[in-house]
Amino acid sequence: MKLHVDHAFSSVTVERFLLVYFSEDFNNRVAAVSGLKSRALVEERIHPDGSRDRRVRMHPAVTVPAALKKFVTAEQIHYDEVSRFDAAAGTITYRIDSKANDRVDVGGTIRVVPHGSGVRRVIDGHVEVKAPFGVGAMVERFIEAEVQKGYANIRPFLQRYLDEHVAPGGPTAKMT
């Protein structure tokens, strides 16, 4: 199953957007908005050229559909988002690392591109679940719906955060 998210944000440059995107302050605040019980930066390496490798552990706050409860409980659902920001290309590639890697494949690319007086964040990904009797397709639809719902909630929060924390035309403010 393909996943596509495309949101525009005003009054911000790509560089300032990326500062916020990688900010632990922003990421800790957005966790609850995006449907996470917890989120923790496990590892981050910043390379001399500005590229980054990150591993973030996430525990989503999800309600498992009744048809899936015999396979997994909400407490069992957690994963690491492993990402690489290629500073030269300006892209972030990500994959989800979990105990279900042999059955669940989630990954993709994030691009942040100039758009008018702001930027667009474009996420192109995939969700593939190997399971018998139509369960895989049901899980794929569940994951895709949760991701879309999370990003729909993140978009207005992120715009407010940008408006409050990124000084127009000046240095990024309040970045911790």
CATH number at residue 86: 3.30.530.20
87 lies in a domain? yes
157 lies in a domain? yes
Angle at which helices 135-165 and 14-21 pack, to 10 degrees?
A: 110
Paired strand residues for 59: 38
pLDDT digits (tens, 9 = 90+) for 132-149: 888 889 889 988 988 898
Which of 101, 95, 100 lies closest to 68, judged by CA? 100
pLDDT band with cut points at 50, 70 and 90 for residue 41:
very high
Beta-sheet strands, E only, within 48-160: 52-60, 79-86, 91-97, 104-115, 118-129
| DSSP state at residue 11 | S
From the CB of residue 69, how many other CB atoms can be counted at a distance below 10 Å?
11
pLDDT confidence of residue 176: 40
pLDDT greater than 80 at residue 67: no
Please give the residue range of the domain that contains residue 126: 2-165
pLDDT confidence of residue 71: 64
170 lies in a domain? no
pLDDT confidence of residue 48: 97
pLDDT confidence of residue 116: 94
Task: Look up the pTM and report it.
Answer: 0.84
Element (H, E) at 39: strand 36-46
171 lies in a domain? no
Question: How far apart are the C-alpha atoms of 149 and 154, rounded to whole Å?
Answer: 9
172 lies in a domain? no
pLDDT band with cut points at 50, 70 and 90 for residue 62:
confident
pLDDT greater than 90 at residue 60: no
Distances (CA, A) of 146 to 38, 78, 161: 16, 14, 22
Distances (CA, A) of 111 to 71, 120, 143, 148: 34, 8, 21, 17
pLDDT digits (tens, 9 = 90+) for 70-125: 666 556 678 999 999 999 999 999 999 988 788 899 999 999 999 999 999 999 99
Domains: count for the chain: 1
pLDDT confidence of residue 76: 63
pLDDT confidence of residue 83: 98
Mean of pLDDT values over 60-65:
74
pLDDT digits (tens, 9 = 90+) for 9-23: 999 999 999 999 999
Contacts of 33 (CB under 8 A, 6+ apart): 153, 154, 157
173 lies in a domain? no
Stronger pLDDT, 41 or 135, i.e. the higher one: 41
